[in-house]
Amino acid sequence: MLAHASCRHAPIGFLIVSLLLGCGVPAGAQEKPVAFVGAEVVPVSGPPISPGVVVVARGKIIAVGPVASTEIPADAERIDCTAKVVMPGLVDTHSHVGDGWAGDGSGPIQPDVRVLDSINVRDAGFRKARAGGLTTLNIMPGSGHLLSGQTIYAKLRDASTIDDFFIRDGDGRPLGGMKMANGTNSQKDPPFPGTRSKSAALVRQKFLKAQDYRRKVKDSKDDPAKSPDRDLEMEGLLDVLDGRVVVHHHCHRADDIMTVLRLRDEFGFKVVLHHVSEAWKVADQLARAGAACSVIVVDSPGGKIEAMDLSLATGAVLEKAGVPCAIHTDDPITDSRLFLRTAGLAVRAGMSRDKALEALTLAGAKMLVLDDRIGSLDVGKDADLIVLSGDPLGLRTKVLQTWVEGRKVFDRDDPEDRLYAVGGYGAGREQKAHACCTDERFSETK
């Protein structure tokens, strides 16, 4: 798919050569500090500062505070943000942008399969996501499996290959979660489950096998002669059992939500509950269980029986009950460019503004266990921020600029960026392949 897509724009040879030369790889973080001056700064982790300033350097935030008392380095590039709003880049805990697929039709549980191996970083959806102010996505495989594979946490840097999106741990491994689902989406003909009980039984059996594998690994005491053969499925599940990887679990009905928590308690994995159409029915139970929820906000209920009791007020009910609550796009179910809107609808139905803005940023960052790096405007965090023309929840507010790690990745004043922001002829096509030495040739042959 990737190669085919590239061919559409240019002979594949040019592309390969340019990649080998490294031309397509984005440069590192910005050289000079950048100061966003005069905005209403919404750090999310604290009260708004107005007029405020945010200074970023070498990809990190180095200062946040009132204009009057915040030092701006002499060599900083100043961006006048008077009458504008600056807030953290939005964090989407559940996205399908990039045409990524993981598990196939061979079975219901596929922990060895990685979505990162199939994502097209040139998909127009990434341009649109940047236009919506999104800077970090949890890109997930679908919900048609009990376990459809490994997700990837992606920073929306300018990208030539998926590696450019990676957020890496201390060992250099790209970070991601594990996608699971219950309810009706994952029920079909064998070897897939036909009932909810069968769904739970299949998952439990697999986790028991993984526990057994873990025991054998432990008993071998790192002796190669005694350790079990490597098994990618088991290794994927060990990451989950050992708490290194968070399960992102699709669920709608209240009983399905409680089933996820039952399995969590049996096997001790970390989980974020996604969509949770009926979470408002079991909000107190969710609070007692210490569950975290990532909510989808759509314009009407229904579309499938599980979503018949979906409510715009889910975020409000969860907030009142004290349940941590993020909001996600589930793009293409909702459009990444309208992510701020979904928080507006949650407020319409009773959620507080502060919690709604947190649900787009810091709450999601915590659910991805990335809150030490992203989700709020605090010194030391990644310089991921957006410049808005006004109230983040205002209908007529526009995302003017999106910055990832101190580099501007979207500018509404740029005609090409604007095309992706509002749509129009060509907005659905893949981005042009960016390669330094051959861009002109590409545009000639286009």
Residues near other proteins, by CB under 8 A: 280, 298-305, 307-313, 316-317, 320, 332-333, 335, 338, 341, 344-345, 347-350, 393-396, 422-429
Amino acid (1-letter code) at residue 135: T
Nearer to other proteins, 269 or 280 (CB): 280
Dihedral-angle region of residue 141 (phi above 0 means left; psi in -120 to 50 means alpha; beta otherwise):
beta
Nearer to other proteins, 96 or 366 (CB): 96
In whole angstroms, what separates CA 83 from the centre of its chain? 29
Residue 394: Cβ within 10 Å count:
14
Query: Closest distance between other proteins and the C-beta of residue 357, in Å?
Result: 12
Query: Closest distance between other proteins and the C-beta of residue 313, in Å?
Result: 4
Nearer to other proteins, 63 or 333 (CB): 333
Query: Closest distance between other proteins and the C-beta of residue 310, in Å?
Result: 8
Q: Helix or strand or coil: residue 49?
A: strand
Query: Closest distance between other proteins and the C-beta of residue 13, in Å?
Result: 26
Question: Residue 271: which of 247, 251, 294, 289 has the closest Cα?
Answer: 247
Nearer to other proteins, 47 or 332 (CB): 332
Alpha-carbon Rg for the chain, nearest whole angstrom, is 22
In whole angstroms, what separates CA 154 from the centre of its chain? 6
Query: Closest distance between other proteins and the C-beta of residue 20, in Å?
Result: 30
- Tokens representing residue 438 in the block: 């051959």
Cβ atoms of residues 41 and 64 within 8 Å: yes
Nearer to other proteins, 339 or 442 (CB): 339
Cα–Cα–Cα angle for 177, 183, 187, rounded to 5 degrees: 100
Nearer to other proteins, 163 or 416 (CB): 416
Q: Helix or strand or coil: residue 202?
A: helix
Query: Closest distance between other proteins and the C-beta of residue 250, in Å?
Result: 12
How far is residue 56 from each of residues 89, 190, 313, measured CA to CA in Å?
A: 14, 54, 37
Query: Closest distance between other proteins and the C-beta of residue 120, in Å?
Result: 12
Query: Closest distance between other proteins and the C-beta of residue 423, in Å?
Result: 4
Strands 49-57 and 34-41: antiparallel
Nearer to other proteins, 191 or 428 (CB): 428
Torsion, Cα of 217, 220, 224, 230 (10° steps): -20
Beta strands across the sheet bearing 178-181:
147-150, 178-181, 247-251, 271-275, 292-296, 325-328
Nearer to other proteins, 4 or 396 (CB): 396
